Structure 1
Amino acid sequence: MLQQLTIQNFAVVASLTLDWHAGMTTITGETGAGKSIALDALSLCMGARAEAGMVRSGAAKTDISASFDVRRQPEAVLWLQQQDLVSDDASECIIRRTITKDGRSRGYINGHPVPAHQLKALGGMLINIHGQHAHLDLLKSERQQELLDNFADNHNAQAKVASTYKQWQQTLKQLKTAQNQQESLRDRLQLLRYQVNELNEFNPEQGEFEQLELEFKRLSNAVELMTTCHNSQQLLSAAEPENVMTMLHQVQQLLATAGEVDASLKPTLALLEEARIQLDEAGNELDTFATNLASDPERLNQVEQRLQKTLDLARKHQIQPEQLAAHHHQLSQELSQLDDPEMQLEQLQQLVEQTELEYHNAAQALSKRRRHAGKKLAIAIVDEVKQMNMPYTKIEFSVTPAKPSSQGSDSIQLLVSTNPGQAPGELAKVASGGELSRIGLAIQVVTHHSQITPTLIFDEVDVGISGPTASVVGRMLKSLGDQSQVICVTHLPQVAANGHQQLFVDKLIEQSVTETRVTLLDKKSRIHELARLLGGEQITERTLANAQELLLEA
């Protein structure tokens, strides 16, 4: 609830402090006195656009502060906590706005500087301002839908529709992307299958290429190797009359005789014996190698073909031949992990159908709630409107199928008939300005239970209304004031009289300087102001009596 508004150097206001109370407060005053000045200041606190021209002439800056009691506003308290903007007194919230003469503005919440969009976010939870042409907002289809959904408390149903719509659109996008990529994916899959099959058939093994190279060298040089081995063996032991083994034996015999003379030669003889044994083993190994090493043209051809195939495949895949086995494994892994594009498309199509069905089910449930609530809301609005001299009014909420969206699959339209025999039609084409005002006020009264803001402000919403209808409007606004805080700028005495308290706005001109003043009226002053509204500037005993009677009736 709004508790206090302090204004410094705003437009024609030099300094003004207003204390606000629960119930309905009416604001009246002379034409041009600035009855809406307090509401304009509040709008600035709520994040409205600031301009340099708003600063009072001769002042350096405008400073506006609004104090609110937020104890009964859990949503606002939660928002303040989430933004880390809670004051030391958690029950109070102070919003401040300053504007310098060069047009720069700053906003503050509980002393913390904040951008204008945060002022708007918080302000929407604290105050609901209805301007002189607020009823024109009813002409917009989105406002009519919002009105119906708030009345029906469709927040959860709307959230489900929005969620399922998002899922549906996301899966639909995935399907379209997969369809666009299907051809390239199919080509890649086909290439992988061919490459893996080819490598499967060849079946390269890790380290095989190196072994093949060694075997190929040995087989391709078999004759030379056998000749070398034979010649070596001849030199070692087979050649006559001299070979290494024979000469070594002769040396051993000579040294054996000498060793009997000098024992220091015995280590040398041991070395020669060890050498003879190793030479004998080498000869045996050469014999074995030469025996096993046979010229095998068929095997040589097999090895050569295997080597060439390895080189060809490596060149084809643009890798080194030693990497062929690892590359084969990598391609096989990719093929195993790559889904069949046709199967992937089928799965995505099923998912699209599933999410689309979930959306339509949620949208149909929301439509059902809207149609049911539309009938109840229409009846309630008509009941209120008929009290305001519109006895033939008929209202219905048309809920028809529309293109699916995150808001549902409905087109919602408020249809009205104000004359007998007239078929309900679009609000903009059927209702006059005064009728729009009354319908808008009736909607405000009926939907008050769904309002989350504790303070309702009406800025001359009773334009185009007079006579007995004005009395009904006054009583309706007062009924709203019985439930929450209502501030109403009006020019109608019937409305002003229904306020729990009344403020009077006038202009004071001194030495060519204009200043707006706001005064809380006592009972006597209030009767005088109501008389002025009833009879103009000429206040008579009759108009005073009428004013007193009007106040008593209210």
Structure 2
Amino acid sequence: MLCQLSINNFAIVRFLELDFKAGMTTITGETGAGKSIAIDALGLCLGNRSDANTVRPGASKTEVSARFTLHDVPQAKRWLEDNDLDNEEDCILRRTINSDGRSRAYINGNPVPITQLKAIGQLLIGIHGQHAHHAMLKSEHQLTLLDSYANHKLLIDTVQASYQRTKQAENDLKSLELAQHERISRKQLLQYQVEELDEFNLAEGEFVEIEQEHKRLANGTELIESCQAGLALLSEDEEVNIESLLNKVIHLADNLQSVDDKLAPVANMLNEALILIQESSGEIEDYLSRLELDPEHFAYLEKRLSSAMQLARKHHVNPEDLSTYHTQLKAELFDLCDDETKLGEVRQALTAHREAYLVHAQKLSQSRTRYAKELDKLVTQSIHQLNMPKGQFKIAVNFNPEMHNSLGCDQVEFLVTTNPGQPLQPIAKVASGGELSRIGLGVQVITAKKVSTPTLIFDEVDVGISGPTAAVVGRMLRSLGESTQVFCVTHLPQVAGNGHQHMFVNKFNKAGQTETTMQNLDKEQRINELARLLGGDAITENTLANARELLQ
């Protein structure tokens, strides 16, 4: 619960430090005194928007901090732990706004973004404003109120997750279908290109081999003549050749070696040279024996080489890269064919997701219908107490499978009749301003009992209510305060008298500046304030007596 609020230089507040207790705290004050100013300041700690006008004139910055105890708020403790912001004791939210409009936020002394203030604030405080009953005229707000009462968050989370999966499948299908025409055109081109390259069937590295063999056959005559001339020089010329000349030199070297063994290395080198010459001759002879000048094979090579170069030019690649390019085209064609398969799979997945979504949405709708019946009875009883004895309240939950959104397929409508014999009609068409206030207040109080928020603020929600009805409202809020910390800004003495505590807001001028203060009232001060609310500025014995009765 909220146990302390400190306000520095906020609007017309110079400094306030307020301690709060459990139960129902009522806040009153003269018109224009700023009864809601503490709530507005607290809103800064909850992540509400701020600007430079927030800062009290003459001050450099506004600072507001709120301290909460977390004994009965496990979800808030868990959130703090998950975000590494837990201090194992209370939770302190702090906000500063400089005169230039810059704002900073802190949780337990740690700087945080405003979004985190909002996230933890939703777990700590629920605020019901004086215009909340007008929001109740909107179908989406009616749905929110019903879901708040039903508290079936797990069902809503399941529907939302299912809806997101369905939307993702729809987006995937849309993307595939939008690209389908382009994909078909590309697929047709690839099929033609791949078939053409398949028919040519150039293997990896084949072009280089063809090019080399073609070059060899194109120069075949020159190769034969050169090889034959080389053999003649090496060994086959009858008049003079290298082999015979080497043999003569070797014979001379052997004779010299016998005279001087220092020439032995020369003889060895000459013998090695003879062996190399003989091996070279053998290699050339072997090459010549295998060298065939086949005109048909040469024509085949020339045709294949020419075709490869033409295809390479056609596809704008180097001839030696044609085989790799062929492989790439086949892979792309396979992927496009796989996209066709994927398109069918996505269609099937979308159908499955839609069916699953409808199953989850139906379960959520069934839960809403069950809790709507429960809420019908409670709100009807509440408006009977609020001086509408013949009134009847009903929530219509209509399941529409064609209406898909993240909150299910339900159209929720609040129906009411305020007079006997009149049919149930939408609340916006039937209820007057005062009736709407009472119905709205009844719904807010009943739904507030079901939520886990430890602190609830009702900011002048009793506008349009008076007399005996106001006393009932006061008792309803006090009853709520038995289990939940309740703050109620009010102008009605019947409501203010039901509070466990009472705070008074006062505005005054000091040294030419306006200031607002808040103070806890003791019993006598409280009687005087209730008397003022009952009779205006003229407090009489009668109004004092009435005030004492209210406190009893």
TM range (shorter): 0.7 to 0.9
1:246 and 1:482, CA in 2 relative to 1: closer, same or farther beyond 3 A? closer
1:240-389 counterparts in 2 under 5 A?
Answer: 242=239, 244=241, 293=291, 295-389=293-387
SS at match of 1:160: helix
1:319-468 counterparts in 2 under 5 A?
Answer: 319-400=317-398, 401=400, 403-468=403-468
1:39-118 counterparts in 2 under 5 A?
Answer: 39-56=39-56, 59=59, 61-87=61-87, 90-99=88-97, 105-118=103-116
Structure 1: where are the runs of 5+ without partners?
none
SS at match of 2:337: coil
SS at match of 2:409: strand
1:514 and 1:392, CA in 2 relative to 1: closer, same or farther beyond 3 A? same
| Whole-angstrom CA distance in 2 between matches of 1:371 and 1:64 | 43
| Whole-angstrom CA distance in 2 between matches of 1:368 and 1:246 | 109
Alpha-carbon shift at residue 167 of structure 1 (Å): 1.3
1:236 and 1:538, CA in 2 relative to 1: closer, same or farther beyond 3 A? closer
The corresponding residue for 2:6 is: 6
Alpha-carbon shift at residue 60 of structure 1 (Å): 5.0
Alpha-carbon shift at residue 151 of structure 1 (Å): 1.5
| Whole-angstrom CA distance in 2 between matches of 1:30 and 1:227 | 124
The corresponding residue for 1:19 is: 19
1:121 to 111, 119, 122: 119
The corresponding residue for 2:473 is: 473
Q: Could you list the per-position Cα deviations for residues 223-242 of structure 1 after superposition, in whole angstroms to 9, with x for gaps in the alignment?
A: 455555666667778777x4
The corresponding residue for 1:198 is: 196
1:514 and 1:168, CA in 2 relative to 1: closer, same or farther beyond 3 A? closer
Alpha-carbon shift at residue 221 of structure 1 (Å): 4.3
* 2:78 partner letter: L
SS at match of 2:404: strand
Q: Could you list the per-position Cα deviations for residues 465-493 of structure 1 after superposition, in whole angstroms to 9, with x for gaps in the alignment?
A: 12221121111011011111112222222
| Whole-angstrom CA distance in 1 between matches of 2:535 and 2:384 | 28
Please tell me whether residue 531 in structure 1 is matched to residue 531 in structure 2. yes
| Whole-angstrom CA distance in 2 between matches of 1:254 and 1:44 | 115
Q: Could you list the per-position Cα deviations for residues 310-331 of structure 1 after superposition, in whole angstroms to 9, with x for gaps in the alignment?
A: 3333333333333334444444
| Whole-angstrom CA distance in 1 between matches of 2:285 and 2:49 | 107
Residues 382 and 394 of structure 1 are in contact (CA less than 8 Å); yes or no, is this contact kept in structure 2? yes
Residues 151 and 451 of structure 2 are in contact (CA less than 8 Å); yes or no, is this contact kept in structure 1? no
* 1:473 partner letter: V
Alpha-carbon shift at residue 390 of structure 1 (Å): 0.8
| Whole-angstrom CA distance in 1 between matches of 2:41 and 2:280 | 113
The corresponding residue for 2:542 is: 542
The corresponding residue for 1:132 is: 130
SS at match of 1:488: strand
Residues 144 and 413 of structure 1 are in contact (CA less than 8 Å); yes or no, is this contact kept in structure 2? yes
| Whole-angstrom CA distance in 1 between matches of 2:502 and 2:220 | 122
Q: What TM-score do you get using the length of structure 2 for normalisation?
A: 0.85
* 1:178 partner letter: L
Q: Which moved more, 1:122-131 or 1:274-283?
A: 274-283
1:442 and 1:297, CA in 2 relative to 1: closer, same or farther beyond 3 A? same
* 2:311 partner letter: L
* 2:448 partner letter: H
Residues 257 and 267 of structure 2 are in contact (CA less than 8 Å); yes or no, is this contact kept in structure 1? no
Alpha-carbon shift at residue 515 of structure 1 (Å): 4.4
1:174 and 1:107, CA in 2 relative to 1: closer, same or farther beyond 3 A? closer
Identity between Structure 1 and Structure 2 (%): 50
Q: Could you list the per-position Cα deviations for residues 12-47 of structure 1 after superposition, in whole angstroms to 9, with x for gaps in the alignment?
A: 444433321111122233334433333333233333
1:302 and 1:153, CA in 2 relative to 1: closer, same or farther beyond 3 A? same
The corresponding residue for 1:151 is: 149
Q: Could you list the per-position Cα deviations for residues 447-468 of structure 1 after superposition, in whole angstroms to 9, with x for gaps in the alignment?
A: 2333232111222221221222
Q: Could you list the per-position Cα deviations for residues 283-325 of structure 1 after superposition, in whole angstroms to 9, with x for gaps in the alignment?
A: 7776666565554322322232233233333333333333334
Alpha-carbon shift at residue 155 of structure 1 (Å): 1.2
Alpha-carbon shift at residue 64 of structure 1 (Å): 3.4
Give the aligned CA root-mean-square deviation in angstroms.
3.8
| Whole-angstrom CA distance in 2 between matches of 1:103 and 1:282 | 95
Residues 10 and 63 of structure 1 are in contact (CA less than 8 Å); yes or no, is this contact kept in structure 2? yes
SS at match of 2:372: helix
1:418 and 1:293, CA in 2 relative to 1: closer, same or farther beyond 3 A? same
| Whole-angstrom CA distance in 1 between matches of 2:392 and 2:297 | 103
| Whole-angstrom CA distance in 2 between matches of 1:21 and 1:117 | 28
**Larger of the two Rg values belongs to structure:** 1
1:160 and 1:223, CA in 2 relative to 1: closer, same or farther beyond 3 A? same
| Whole-angstrom CA distance in 1 between matches of 2:227 and 2:61 | 111
Aligned residue pairs: how many? 548
| Whole-angstrom CA distance in 1 between matches of 2:406 and 2:271 | 101
| Whole-angstrom CA distance in 2 between matches of 1:538 and 1:224 | 134
1:437 and 1:305, CA in 2 relative to 1: closer, same or farther beyond 3 A? same
